[in-house]
Amino acid sequence: MRGIVPDGSLIAAALLLQAAVVLCSFPATLKLERAFPLSQRVELSELRSRDSVRHGRMLQSSNGVVDFPVAGTYDPFVVGLYYTKVQLGSPPKEFYVQIDTGSDVLWVSCNSCNGCPTTSGLQIPLNFFDTGSSSTASLISCSDQRCSAGVQSSDALCSSQNNQCAYAFQYGDGSGTSGYYVSDLLYFDTILGGSVTTNSSAPIAFGCSTSQTGDLTKSDRAVDGIFGFGQQEMSVVSQLASQGVAPKAFSHCLRGDEAGGGILVLGEILEPNIVYTPLVPSQPHYNLNLQSISVSGQTLSIDPSVFTTSNNQGTIIDSGTTLAYLAEAAYNPFVTAVTNAVSQSAQPVVSKGNQCYLITSSVTDVFPQVSLNFAGGASMILRPQDYLLQQNSVGSSAVWCIGLQKLQGQGLTILGDLVLKDKIFVYDLAGQRIGWANYDCSTSVNVTATMKTGKSEYVNAGQLNDNSSPQNEPYKGIVISMISFLMHILLLGSFLFL
């Protein structure tokens, strides 16, 4: 996407924020790797930089709930992304792809790809899609209706030379991916009544990446591609909707504990405590009307116009972002309110421009509850763990730092994995609303495939747990072996920009 120009005095911002967020003249910005090598010092400004780079860039009646497995974790010091597994082609081939509600397109690495990683530090096998090896694959021409829709939403482009529907996604740090669109079968598990699972398939259009550059070429936390869950017509959600094989809604529940994983379904999770707020109409992303922020029940003095949706401001739900970001005018009042609330129980310290606190008791006993208040009376309750990041220790004191970041000079508020974890999120595209509820995402949920009818399907918390699907344990074991070292060297970095 076209970037938002940062303060010229900030060199890193000038490099990385070009693709920062949500102007709709270019395809969604994608980011595969948002964690850091364990031997590298991690600074919060770098986490924010990686998020900044990737900030750029339905369904009728159904026979059941489509269930996808989930692996990964929000923890930026472990993985920093959530991913799932899809099967494409005939015979089907498995691909691990990042779950991203901030973009539309499903794309995977293809044969003869220039710069695509061949190994992953996540201990997952990386594959390459081969159109010649799939008996059901076909290329998509520029005259295809799906390509025309993609051109309208800037998710596709066409060349007059070869009539091939293609794409090119570029990023502010110089990384990018390009390729062409293929039509082939997507295989998925459908949950029927009584938790009976059946295998299903449907033809979809997806991207075949032939070139990756910059950070996309790195193998440390590489996956096979991106699974965009946006609203545009090129998204898999919209394509399956148009075929009537999945409901016009999807839901996720991302585990925030060390194990990670969670639940991802095409369908609406049913939970009595879910509250809903309407989507802002005619937006390319999942924009919500945030109206105010409360700390310890007290509404902060922030002009409501700060949260108004326009070309360069508003509030966006984005599972492809590791951290969370507040508009500049909302950030300082928020930090001041938190600091005042803990003044008797925590020692404020500033580390390289970051507001941190030294505490000797439980973080939940010290820090206040925060409420993000949206249109329609829907409030999102944030525990301390939802807006803080735990760092190293100083003597007997634990160091906790503000994890919500400031987008300097901008009016964007972006709710990434730091905030989304440990909550059910329901994207009701038919009703143009999003709902949420705090939830233990390691437990099962009830899901309905037919909206508003009360029809429930029992779905276990999906995990990558078959014999061919690696668990989180390989990379978790690496992290555990390094945890003592990390606790001493990982301190939040300076506010390099924003």
Q: What residues are annotated to the active site?
A: 100, 318
Helix spans in 286-371 (H): 328-341, 363-366
- 8-state DSSP, 214: G
CA distances from 349 to 89, 113, 182, 400 (A): 54, 48, 53, 10
Q: Name residue, tokens 């009595």.
A: 272
Query: What does the alpha-carbon distance between residue 152 and residue 141 come to, in Å, rounded to a whole number?
Result: 15
Amino acid at 380: M
Sign of the dihedral through C-alpha 490, 491, 495, 498: positive
CA dihedral 254, 38, 466, 86 (to 10 degrees): 70
Query: What does the alpha-carbon distance between residue 16 and residue 10 come to, in Å, rounded to a whole number?
Result: 10
Element (H, E) at 315: strand 313-317
Nearest 5°: the CA angle 223, 225, 231 is: 135
Helix spans in 95-213 (H): 145-152
| Pairing state between β 313-317 and 411-415 | parallel
First-last CA distance in the chain:
18
Question: Of the candidates 169, 351, 374, which has an alpha carbon nearest to the alpha carbon of residue 275?
Answer: 374
Amino acid at 408: Q
- 8-state DSSP, 198: E
Query: What does the alpha-carbon distance between residue 274 and residue 272 come to, in Å, rounded to a whole number?
Result: 6
Using a 10 angstrom Cβ sphere, with 0-12 exposed, 13-18 middle and 19 or more buried, the burial of residue 310 is exposed
**Length of the chain (residues):** 498
- 8-state DSSP, 246: S
Q: Is 69 helix (H, G, I), strand (E, B) or coil?
A: coil
Element (H, E) at 270: strand 268-270
**What tokens were used for 3?**
């970037």
Element (H, E) at 488: helix 473-489
Q: Contact, 386 vs 349, CB < 8 A?
A: no
